C-alpha cells in the first residue's frame, strides 16, 4: 500500500477519443500486467466530469482521484490543453500527475503542454512493441516509483 491507496483501488484515467488508440493502450496495459483499473473518458468534458465528480460522474467519490491521467490533446468538446489548464487551476486536481499521450509532433503542443503544467509529454509510438515498452515505463515510474502527496492519493 502506497500513499494510503491499495493497489487494487488505483485508477489510471485515460482520456482518449480515438477508439483504435484506446484499444491499443488498453491492450498494452493488459500485456504489461498493469494491475490498476483503467477508466476511459472520450472527450474533455467527460474527463473533467470524472475528475470533479460532476455530470455523468456525479456519483463518484470526489476524493478518490486517479493516480495518473493519460491525456490526449486532440479531443472533442474541450481539447486536452484546456483540460490540463482546468486540472491545474482546481485545488482538488492541481497536483495530479498528468502525462500527455499524443500523436502530435507539433513543438507548440509540447511547449503549451509543459507550460500548462504537464508532468510529461509522450508521443504515441506507431509500433506496438515500442508502445508496449512506453506503457511499461510509464507504469513503472508513475505508478510504482513516483510518490504522491496524501491529499492527492
Domain boundaries, the chain: 7-144
Spatial separation of the C-alpha atoms in residues 136 and 134, rounded to whole Å: 5
Could you tell me if 69 and 15 are in contact, meaning their C-beta atoms sit under 8 angstroms apart?
yes
Could you tell me if 3 and 29 are in contact, meaning their C-beta atoms sit under 8 angstroms apart?
no
Name the pLDDT band for 2 (thresholds 50, 70, 90). very low
- Considering only residues 139 and 90, tell me which one the structure prediction assigns the higher pLDDT: 90
- Considering only residues 148 and 49, tell me which one the structure prediction assigns the higher pLDDT: 49
Query: Fold for domain 7-144?
Result: Rossmann fold (3.40.50)
Q: What is the pLDDT of residue 30?
A: 82
Render the burial of 99-127: b for 16+ CB within 10 Å, e for the rest: bbbbebeeeebbebbeebebbbbbebeee
Q: What is the pLDDT of residue 9?
A: 64
Percent of the chain clearing pLDDT 70 (strictly above): 90
Nearest to 98 by CA among 109, 112, 113, 110: 113
pLDDT in tens, 50-76: 999 999 999 888 778 999 999 999 999
Amino acid at each position: 500500500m502506497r500513499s494510503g491507496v491499495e493497489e487494487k483501488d488505483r485508477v489510471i484515467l485515460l482520456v482518449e477519443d480515438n477508439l483504435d488508440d484506446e484499444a491499443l493502450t488498453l491492450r498494452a496495459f493488459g500485456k504489461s500486467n498493469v494491475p490498476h483499473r483503467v477508466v476511459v473518458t472520450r472527450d474533455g468534458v467527460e474527463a473533467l466530469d470524472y475528475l470533479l465528480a460532476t455530470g455523468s460522474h456525479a456519483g463518484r467519490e470526489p476524493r478518490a482521484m486517479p493516480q495518473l491521467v493519460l491525456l490526449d490533446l486532440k479531443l472533442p468538446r474541450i481539447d486536452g490543453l484546456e483540460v490540463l489548464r482546468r486540472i491545474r487551476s482546481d485545488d482538488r486536481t492541481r497536483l495530479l500527475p498528468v502525462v500527455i499521450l499524443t500523436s502530435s509532433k507539433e513543438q507548440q503542443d509540447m511547449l503549451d503542454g509543459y507550460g500548462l503544467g504537464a508532468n510529461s509529454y509522450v508521443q504515441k509510438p506507431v509500433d506496438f512493441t515500442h508502445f508496449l515498452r512506453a506503457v511499461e515505463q510509464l507504469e513503472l515510474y508513475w505508478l510504482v516509483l513516483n510518490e504522491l502527496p496524501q491529499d492527492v492519493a
